[in-house]
């Protein structure tokens, strides 16, 4: 399930990040950008974080962040050939 539509963050990605050592909403915002756009996903992300914490999915080692890599999606620019079609719609 996609939790954050703005930044394409799934529940699986959130759970993996928590298991890798992100254990606060501030950590999730910084590394996954959850709740940084419209903010509608913050409640769901917070619930998932709490679920992971209560089921002890949080590791207790110092290098937990080594495996978490943020993914950045960018839209391609509109080329002149498609610009007229985009404006006409």
| Residue 60: predicted pLDDT | 47
Taking the C-alpha atoms of residue 19 and residue 41, their distance in angstroms, rounded to an integer, is: 19
Domain span holding position 16: 2-88
Tens-place pLDDT, residues 37-87: 999 999 999 999 999 988 865 554 444 555 666 666 667 666 666 555 555
Taking the C-alpha atoms of residue 42 and residue 29, their distance in angstroms, rounded to an integer, is: 9
pTM more than 0.75:
no
Taking the C-alpha atoms of residue 30 and residue 53, their distance in angstroms, rounded to an integer, is: 19
Question: What is the tally of structural domains in the chain?
Answer: 1
CATH of residue 10's domain is 1.10.10.1100
């Amino acid at each position: 399930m996609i939790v954050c539509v703005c930044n394409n963050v799934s529940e699986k990605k959130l759970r993996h990040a928590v298991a890798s050592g992100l254990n606060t909403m501030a950590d999730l915002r910084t590394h996954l950008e959850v709740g940084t756009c419209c903010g509608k996903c913050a409640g769901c992300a917070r619930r998932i974080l709490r679920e992971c914490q209560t089921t002890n999915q949080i590791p207790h080692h110092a290098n937990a962040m080594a495996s978490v890599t943020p993914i950045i999606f960018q839209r391609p620019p509109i080329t002149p050939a498609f610009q007229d079609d985009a404006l006409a719609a």
